[in-house]
Structures are given as C-alpha cells and as structure tokens.
Structure 1
C-alpha cells in the first residue's frame, strides 16, 4: 500500500500544473545554456536544488521532468519521500546523463560539494546498471517488460557511453574528477559497451548492417518494444552509434569493419525521392504529416526498416506493418518521428575518418567503395554498370555491392577475375534489365566467337547476381550468350535469363555455381558448359523444339548440371524437346523432383552422334512428375535414381568447394 501511494505521488509530480514560473520551456535547453557564468547565478542554484531533490538515492533520475519549474513545499516533501524508492529511474529520453551534465556545469562555477557528490552518484548508477554483456536496460532497477532490453532507443546507451568515455579518458568535459579507481571502472565499462555494440550489429544474409532500437538482453537479437515499435533496423539510432565508434581513438579492426559496414548500409537505404511536409494549426502544432514525392530531395532514412529487405515500414498501436505513414492513424502519424536525417553527419565524417584509419577510401575519394549505386537518371554514383565495375576495388576483403536501379541498360558488362566478392543486385527483376545483341555472326572472330557474345560475363569468384533481367536481344540468329559465368562460388537468384541458342554458359576450373528462383529461356543448348551447377526452384523454358542442356562435364567430376524442384516448360510450338545432349562425352545432367511438361520427348536424351557418350555420360532423373516424366521410353543408357542415390544430391555435396569447404545455404 505504501509503495502504491508513492507511485501516485510520483505521477502527480510528473503531471502537475503548478503555479510555477516557466522561465524556460524545456529542461534540456537549460542544461545546455551557452552562458557558463549563468550557472553561478541564484536562479541556477535554485534549479540545482530541484535537481538534487529529483535524484533518487540510487543515483538516477526520472525522465521527462521540467526541473526548472518552481516546486511547492508539498512537492518538495513528496520528492524527499520518493528518494529511497528508486521509482522510475532511467536513462531514457536523456534522463540521468543530462542531469549529470547540469551538475558538472554547476560545479564548474560553484564549488558546492553537493553537486560533485550528485554527479558521482549518477556515475555509480550508470556503472551499476550495466549488464555483464556490456549493454544497458532502459530502466534500472529493472522494470518488467521490454524495458529490460538493451536499449539504443533515443540514443540511451550512446549517451551513457559518452559520459563514461569522457570519464575514462579523463577529459575536461566534466568538471568533477573521479578517483583513479572509478576511472578504471569506466574504462572497463566502456570497452564492454563497445563489445556489446559490435555483437549486436545485425547481419543480413551474412553482411553487417546496422542496429535495432532495442536488442534482447540475453540473445542480443533485435527485439520489439511498444506495439508500434517492432524489431527492425533503425535509421535513427544507428547514426549515433556510428558516430560513437568513429570517435574512438585507434579503433580495432572490428570497429573499423563495423563503421564501414554501417556506412554502406546508410548509403544503401537512403531515400532521395521523398520530402516531409508538416501541416500546422494556428498555434503551431503539427496536425498532419505527409510524405511528398520529390526529385533529388535531401537524403532521409526511415526510423524502422525491415530486418531482411530494408523496406521502410510504419505501425499504429495495433502493431500491424504498413508501407507508408499515410496508412496509419493521425495520432501515431503526427506524434512520432518516422523519418530522420541523422545518418548524414556520419556520412559526412566518414571519408576523413576512413583515411585516418587506413581504410581503402582515398583522401580525395568521397564515395563508399563497398556500396555503389547505378542509376540512369543520374541519382546514383554511375549511369552505366560497367563504370561501376571499373570503380570496384581489386580483390576486396569485403563484399562490394553494385546496386542497379530500375532501367534498361544497353551494355555489355564484364566482372573480371580481380573483381571478386561483387554483389550485382537490381532494384527489381522485372524492371532492371541488362541487354545487348551480340551473336556469333556479328562478333565474327572465328570458331570461338560464341564466347564473346555475352551480355554479362562473370569471371570473379564469390560473386552473386540477383533481382534483375539479363538478356541477349539478338533473337534467333545463332549462338548468343546472355549470361556467361566462368568463376567459382557464384550465386544467381531471382533473375530472368533471356535468349535463344546458348543463353547460359557455365564454366570455370572445378567451378561450383548455384541458380535459385530464376527463369531461364532459350532454344538449342541454352544451358551449356562444364561447371558443377545446382538449379533450384527455377523455371526452364524452351522457346522451340530443341535441346535444353549441353553439358561438357570434365571426366571424374562427381556432379554436373543438377535440376531440383524445377519446372520445365515451353512455348506451344516447342513440342519436341530433349532434356539434354552431351557437348562432351563425360556430360552429367540430373533432374530431381522436377515437373516435366508434355513437350519432353519420351526418349528424354540424345547422344549428339557420339556413341561413346552413351557409355561415359550420366543422364538421370528421380521422382519427377508431369506429362513429360514418363520413363518407360527413355533411352536405355539413361538412369532412374534410387532414393538412396538421390540423397547424395544434397546442396552440401553438390556445391562444397575442395579448398574452402564452401557451399551456398
């Protein structure tokens, strides 16, 4: 009962409408007054007495209190009664850290030891509140619910670490100088806090990105807070985290990587086609917010971005994700900051920081080399994809993303061997199109002209391509490659590969490659080469009657072309289609649990006038379905796998690399 009464007293204090003098509108404005001498005034001393009253014995302060407002005698008595309770002590919304700054500024002018003791008590509170893993909760002592999460929200943990950093480094920022013992505690606390930051940086498909507003205090994973604050990547909170890391002298390689990765994410997620418009009433209060489409707008970032797609989202108090603020109610739309420009400060400081800390960003180079944007309208770093490739570092230690915005790019693109670790990613599969029209006759370089006809050529290992269309637009004019992959550990996902004869060439010494969720179309031998390749969940479409595959698998290779869970389709006029024929006599091609259309010939396979291929090649199927899956008329030199044999065709077995033990997951 007594505790309940204390809570009621506290709430009354937070909401009272006193007969007080509102000399200043906001408490933080008082703390940061430019006139240092003011802190020696009688007015400042009177406010300082209030601040001392609000501080609990545990050392912390409650939040959202206008401490400059005059207190009645009754209110002072109530605050004295609350001191021992530790009710609502927090670091949220700047609480405790800002009061400590006020006390420091007071002590710098007036050597009242109460101010120094208050500061040190606040510092001890911060040290006591830290988790063993280095993070801080929103409230301490711990308050049930999401308040126990490690809290970056509203810069809470960054504010704490900035206090502790100044104490640990014994700077002159604070006028109170703690003992050497406390300084050492602060050094350890700061290092633990930074370690927590590094461990909570979110990995998206294996790539470091940014941070959530709050992370689970046990698992360190992104966590929900209020109903409209779902786990997400934060465009706001991440900015101050990066600035804190950039302020560390002689950063470790892990800190450098964290900063570079976050900056790359900022570049990737910035919004330059929207502008916020605020509608105000006569009293100057916001009554509506609207996002207006605007060309070349100043960069903005969403406060909440999807953990996997980076797509901005917005929530009302029902916790349901929406795609725009227009879809949520006015109370949340107008009462919350959904967009921010906070990362621009980090982006501005990054180039000089990068040079100072020995990264690959040159002194005169202001672009982030880990994320390059291509856009035909000039809004990116380049208007041509090949120019972006030229700007990519040779043999980079980290992945380099070339993000291609929607448009039709009429060019040949080559990613050479020294540009490994490249991610070529389109804005959308349907509207990001790379096209060219070279063919065998047009190239005219002799019998090997086919290999020069590519629209896109990938020679760099460990590259990936996604979300775009690659097309050879020469039509049915002989050999004409759309995509040529002559590299190891290459992944192509969610792409359209369009052509006629020889659409897709796959090669490279002992190369392993992976195609997932792709649409691949062509005519004769439109998937050919000697690489080991797994096609998963793809649509393989024949334009006319001919051959789908022409493998040239090297002798002794365990796997060649493997199609799993693919759909084999065709144009109506393509009624006589072979699953494959051997370009070289040790060809291997297997279809597992695929849907084969009626266009597949009953024989299934053809020997390309190479009788020896019937003995040396390996063509097989397992558990396929559809009108073309009838096996009773297959050529007698092809195979139907047993269940035990089919088990060997796992992604791990097919794609494991001999040197790195690498495979796509």
Structure 2
C-alpha cells in the first residue's frame, strides 16, 4: 500500500512539474511572441523584460558578430535576422573591415543602446566591453572642430563632411549627453568618472561645431545644411541629389537639442531664436504632400493644394533665393516633384513637418531663458509661398551675359560657330534667341555649347535627306544628313533648349526615308531639354566611328513616324524623355565590339499614333529600360531582331533586353517583367545611372551642373 501510494505521489509530482514546466514554456513563448521581431523596433525597445529573454541574447550574438574592429557597426543591417553558418562566417570575416563603420541611419548608436540595456539586465561583461568599444569609436571619430564624419576611419568622397543628415550628429550627441548624465541604461559601472569627463568634452565640442556651422543669412543666424565641409565649415554637397542647402528636417533636430541644454549661453539663445524665426518665415501653407496609389498599382508622390493643410517645410531650400526645390540623381535642382523621376520622387522625403513640433516648445523655452529676445512665431499665419516672400515655382533662367555669342533670328548660326577657336580650351557658349532658323548647322569643333532661349520657341527647321543635301562638304570634310550635324572630332558638345525639326516628309515629299534631325560622329555628346523631331527615320542618330561614342540625353521629346528614331552606336543614357512614334520601332542600338556597350533609358514614356513596336536591333546590342511607361499603342512585344527572313549579323551575344519597374497600359504578355538581375554585373535599379552606363569614364551630369548657369531650365 505504501509503495503504491509512493508511486502515485511521484507520478503526480512528475506530472505537475511537467505541466508546470510546459505552462511556463507556453507563457515564455507567448511572452516572447508579444515582442517586435524587426531590428528597428527592437533597437528602440525599453522593456526590461525583453532583455532577459533568450531571443534578446540570440540577437546580441549577431550584434557582437557585426561589430567591426573599429568598434563601430555598418548600417542597414537587420541584427535580428537568423543567419546560417555560411552567413555567420562571412560576418566574422568582415570584422576586420575599416571602411563601413558609421553613425548614419542610426548605426552604431542603436547597437550600443541595445548592448547597454542587455548588460543592465544580464551583467554579461561581453556586452559591456563591446559597448565601451563603441564609445571609443564615437570619441575617435570626432574632428577637432567638434563635428563627426558620416563614416570613419575610412571615409570616401562626401563621407568626410561634417554630417547632420538623418540626425547623425544629433543622435550621437544625444547619446553622449545621456551617458555623461548616467541616464538609463547607462548607470552602474558602464561609465566611470574618467570616461564621463571625456564625454563631456566631446559634447561641448559638438555644440561648438553646431554653432559654427549655422548658416548666417543677411547677418542673421538661420538654419543648417545637412553636411558641411570639415575644413571651411561651409555647406557642402553629398549625394548627387543632396546639394548645399538650407535643410529644415535636420535643423529641427538640432534646435531641439539646443533647447534641451540646461544652461544656454547667449550664443545658443541667438542660434535658437534665429532658427525659429527662419522656420516661421519659410513655412509652406495651403499645401500637402500626399502619397497615392495609381490605378495601375504604382505609387506616386504629389504636392497638392489644400487650404486646410497644416504647415510643412521643404527638405531643401536653395542658398540663393531660399526657395524650395527637389532633385534627381542628376544633381539638377527642380521646382516641381513631377520634374524628377519616380525613383527619387517616391524614395525620398521631400517635405516634412518636423519644425512644427518646436513651436510650442520654443515659446516655453524663450519665456524661461530669454523673453527679451523672444521671436513672434505662429503656425496659423500664411507661409512664404502664400505671402509673397518666395517664388515657389521660379523658372530657372540662363545668364545671358555668360554667353560668348548671341544669335538673333535672321543671323547665321554657322557664323557664330566660326567665331569659336578651332579647339576651344573652355566651353564656347552660343545663345539662340527665340525665333525660327531655316539653316543647316555644322558643328566642326569640340566644346561648343549651343543653347536656345526656349525649347518651344527657338526652332531650327530644315527639309533634307541624304539625296537632297545642299551642303555635302565643309572645310574639306564630308557632311552628313541632318539639321544639326556634329562632325567627327566635335567632341564634348552640348545642345539644349531647342526644337530641331527635319520636316522633309511633310514639306517636300510624303516619305519616311532617313531624315535626321541631329546626326553626329562625335563622342561625349549631350543633348537635353529639346524637341527632336523628324518626318522620317533615324531622327537622333549619333554614330561615332567604330560604335565607340558616349551620349547623354535628358528631357527630350522625340517624335518620328519612321523607324529607329533614337539609334545610338556605343554607350547612351537617356532619362525623362518622351517618345512618340507611328507604326514602326522606336529605339535601336548598335553595341558591336564591346559587351559593355548599352542603351539605357530611365523614367521615360513611350506612346504612338498607331500600334508601334518598342524597338529592334541589327547588330549586337544591349537595352536597359528602368521605370518606363508605355501606352497601349506600344505593341505587346519585346525588342527584337530586325529581320525574320535573313540574318544581317549573327549577334553572338544574343538578345539582351533588361527591364525594371516598367508598365504598359493594358498589361503585357510577360516580356516586360522585371529581369534586371539577369544582366551581367547589373546593380540595383537605382544604381543604373549615367556614371554606371559609362563605366565611370564620363560624368555628363557633372558637366551639365558645371554649365548650369547657361543651361538652366
């Protein structure tokens, strides 16, 4: 009886313990499941209970693995993702990297906060030691002037600039302040007295840098640029679309930090007053930025009028007029969102309301610390766009005095070109005033910049074919068919602001035989902001010898009822162009001789009067179309070999057509699906840029920026 009772009792206890353990496991699992799974959320968590879980320790192993030998961390890494052995081995191998540690996008500071919270709960010295290595990393990166670069110790290019962008320095200073004040989770033995003194010095130097980099406008402090030159402290450029500017969002973070200082001195007070006055003056009212989904499922971003909208601020205001602008990867400022491609339009925060959060805070701060100099501000008054302070959509204007020659209607364009040196060492700039010029233009020398006053009102019109050319030779050299002809050797020329029209097919004979609007045998040719029209084939034909030319096009309207009206030989990049055809293929490419030759078209639209093929080829070619839109009159069929009944060229490299983010009205049969990753050495879609197209051998967009005072449109 005793043994039976004992067995029953032991069995009951085992069952109870197992049941209790199972219940605890279920509770533990449920507790874990209540926590976020994404690193971005986990990094911001303050729940102490989470840092006692196995999941927190698992993530900590990733955080430790990703820490570089510098003490910092790379950015845009999901620290919570489970890695296999191969991935982990790669991460461990990369610990010796010294070129990707950064404070950008909350990198390093987020990992340090996570480790500090974990150490606080576990007392595992591995977390403490890794955290302290992070502290040393932050202190080691500070310039003597108090700023920090975006990356160190191996910064490249703009990464060396003092970086306020994405709150990089503000986040760092906030963390340093919390550490020196022993604010949770930095209590206990994490920060000793010696380290606290060092942190205090770094913080004070950081504030000095902030005060030194504030932009002074008309003798008054205003706001800050996203990045500043580490030597001069002046506003500096970063990525192509991040120009030196008044920057509202980052400035809001800076001002908040300054208003949190416990004993602001006169310089801090002046800086805060000046910035808040600027925020009040340059707010935008009656407008809202909305993100929408179009009927075809694509996203779009628009700035629309809304009388009830709360004030917003542009991300960037230009340094000349203090007026809002947006920018694409070409680095050219625009006033309308619609003027930049969808990738940057939808992929960047162009407007924000961050400064609005400061208005009430400022009023209380000024009343407490400096009521005498308090600035009158209000979110209820009209913004700069409504009270006349700024011209919201100012049209860029070329500087007429910057041109070498100005040509009027009735005067000879050719005579103006003849005034240029045979080999100009600097760009020779010619302005054509509004009017119609019935002339053939032969550019026979390099570095000519030919600009029309207005692309729709400055017209060069000629009716010509190869058989009807009036000029077949110029300066002893043969001349091709075209309204504008760039002779061999006329390299580095720019054409902008014109309508160039070969109207032979309507003015003389109803035919679509070759009627070039622009024909060229030069390289590094830039044609932008123009209407290029022809009544026949090959409207824009740039054919450098050996198919070795490089060409750049932007903001063109190409209209042609013939075939192959964009037909480059070599490397070509075209963006924000509109193609309009009629019955025959619109684009063509010759890439013989080098597998890297390509025709790249981005953020462009294709339409036609009647059902028309997108494109074709006769020789080895390579096409990239990124974020392009096609109407239903573009036939549902891929770019193809020109002939079905014969083989002009066997094209050993085969069909190479690559698409990303392209759409066709009415759908397509599969040929337009994203297949960019199938291309050899293809980057992500946003990496398909002009510089990539030309393998870094030519930067046409930098040339356009250098000439923007005469090319502005």
Using the size of structure 2 for normalisation, the TM-score is 0.48
Residues 1:173 and 1:106: Cα distance change in structure 2 (over 3 Å):
closer
1:127-185, Cα deviation, whole Å (9 max, x unpaired): 00000000000001131200000000000000110111112223334245312111111
Match of 1:270 in 2: 283
Contact 1:296 1:379 in 2 (8 A): no
**Deviation of the 1:286 alpha carbon:** 6.7
Structure 1 SS opposite 2:247: coil
1:452-467 to 2 correspondences below 5 Å: none
Deviations 1:218-273 (A, max 9, x none): 00000001111111010110000001111110111100110111011110111111
Distance of 2:121 and 2:298 partners within structure 1: 39
Which residue is equivalent to 2:90? 78
Q: Aligned-pair distance for 1:372?
A: 8.2
Residue of structure 2 aligned with 1:215, choices 228, 231, 243? 228
Aligned to 1:321: 333
Q: Does structure 1 retain, via aligned residues, the 8 Å contact 2:162–2:229?
A: yes
Distance, in Å, in 1 between the alignment partners of 2:125 and 2:298 is 44
Which residue, out of 355, 366, 387, partners 1:405? 387
Corresponding position of 1:257: 270
The alignment status of 1:188 with 2:201, answered yes or no, reads: yes
Aligned with 2:354 (options 342, 346, 349) = 342
SS at match of 1:233: strand
SS at structure 2 position matched to 1:305: strand
Identify the residue that residue 66 of structure 2 maps to in structure 1.
54
Deviations 1:327-368 (A, max 9, x none): 111111001000111111222210111111133378xxxxx3
Q: Distance in 2 between matches of 1:276 and 1:282?
A: 19
Partner of 1:154: 166
Q: 1:251 to 1:302 in 2, by over 3 A?
A: same
Distance in structure 2 (CA, Å) of the matches to 1:427 and 1:345: 23
What residue in structure 2 maps to residue 506 of structure 1? none
* Stretch of structure 1 that moved more, 225-234 or 81-90: 81-90
1:114 to 97, 120, 126: 126
Residue equivalent to 1:481: none
Task: Choose the corresponding residue for 1:65, options 77, 91, 98.
Answer: 77
1:37 corresponds to 2:19: no
The one of 95, 107, 114 aligned to 1:95: 107
Aligned-pair CA distance for 1:57: 2.0
The 2-side partners of 1:213 and 1:44 are apart by 35
1:530-562 alpha-carbon deviations (Å, 9 max, x no partner): xxxxxxxxxxxxxxxxxxxxxxxxxxxxxxxxx
Question: Is contact 2:269–2:370 with CA below 8 Å preserved after alignment?
Answer: no
- Match in the other structure for 1:568: none
Aligned residue for 1:107, secondary structure, equals helix
**Deviation at residue 277 of structure 1 after TM alignment:** 1.6
Determine the structure 2 residue equivalent to 1:164: 176
Shift of 1:280: 3.1
Question: What is the SS of the residue equivalent to 1:76?
Answer: helix
Equivalent residue, structure 2, for 1:177: 190
Contact kept? 1:59, 1:124, Cα under 8 Å = yes
Greater shift in the superposed pair: 74-83 or 53-62? 74-83
Name the CA distance, whole Å, in 2 between partners of 1:164 and 1:153: 18
Secondary structure of the equivalent of 2:370? Answer: coil
Could you tell me which residue of structure 2 aligns to residue 312 of structure 1?
Answer: 324
Q: Does 1:333 find its partner at 2:315?
A: no
Deviation at 1:106, TM superposition (A): 0.9
Q: 1:57 to 1:403 in 2, by over 3 A?
A: closer
Q: Is the contact made by 2:284 and 2:385 (CA closer than 8 Å) also made in structure 1?
A: no
The 5 A counterparts of 1:569-588 are none
Residue in structure 2 matched with residue 242 of structure 1 by the alignment: 255
1:280 counterpart = 2:293: yes
Secondary structure of residue in 2 paired with 1:290 = strand
Question: C-alpha deviations, 1:65-91, integer Å up to 9, x for none?
Answer: 001000111222222222122241000
1:289 and 2:301 aligned: yes
For residues 172 and 33 of structure 1, what CA distance do their matches in structure 2 show?
Answer: 13
Q: What is the Cα deviation at residue 303 of structure 1?
A: 0.6
Distance 2:272 2:81 in 1: 41
Kept in 1: contact 2:288–2:305 (CA 8 A): yes
Contact 1:286 1:334 survives alignment (8 Å): no
**Given the alignment, which residue of 107, 125, 143 partners 1:131?**
143
The structure whose RCO (Cα within 8 Å, separation 6+) is larger is 2
What RMSD, in angstroms, separates the aligned Cα atoms of the two structures? 2.6
* Cα separation, 2, equivalents of 1:40 and 1:372: 47
1:325-404 equivalence runs, <5 A: 325-360=337-372, 368-369=375-376, 379-380=381-382
Partner of 1:144: 156
Q: Distance in 2 between matches of 1:170 and 1:214?
A: 30
CA contact (8 A) 2:100 2:154 kept: no
Equivalent residue pairs, number: 358
C-alpha deviations, 1:351-391, integer Å up to 9, x for none? 111111133378xxxxx33x689xxxx8449xxxxxxxxxx
Does the 8 Å contact 1:137/1:149 carry over to 2? yes
Distance in 2 (CA, whole Å) between partners of 1:265 and 1:46 is 47
- Listed one character per residue, the Cα deviations across residues 267-289 of structure 1 (whole Å, up to 9, x for unaligned) are 01111111112113799x97100
Q: Given the two structures, how large is their TM-score scaled by the length of structure 1?
A: 0.51
Distance 1:62 1:349 in 2: 34
The answer to whether the 8 Å contact 2:323/2:390 transfers is no
Q: Which runs of 4+ in 1 moved over 4 A?
A: none
* Alpha-carbon shift at residue 34 of structure 1 (Å): 4.7
Instruction: Give, in angstroms, the shift of residue 124 of structure 1.
Output: 0.6
Q: Is the 8 A contact 2:163 2:226 kept in 1?
A: yes
- Equivalent-residue separation in structure 2 for 1:95 and 1:75 (angstroms): 20
CA distance in 2, matches of 1:359, 1:271: 27
Contact 1:274 / 1:295 at 8 angstroms: preserved in 2? yes
Structure 1 position 193, deviation (Å): 0.4
8 A Cα contact 2:290 2:303, kept in partner: yes
Secondary structure of 2:271's counterpart equals: helix
Which residue does 1:611 correspond to in 2? none
Match of 1:633 in 2: none
CA contact (8 A) 2:287 2:305 kept: yes
Q: Distance in 1 between matches of 2:268 and 2:381?
A: 30
Matches within 5 A, 1:214-233: 214-233=227-246
Question: Structure 2: 5+ residue runs without aligned partners?
Answer: 1-32, 392-713
Work out the CA distance in 1 between the residues paired with 2:263 and 2:195: 23
Name the CA distance, whole Å, in 1 between partners of 2:109 and 2:306.
Answer: 39
Q: Secondary structure in 2 aligned to 1:278?
A: strand
- Aligned counterpart, 2:464: none
1:26 to partner: Cα distance: 3.5
2-side partners of 1:309 and 1:188: how far apart?
38
Q: 1:345 to 1:178 in 2, by over 3 A?
A: same
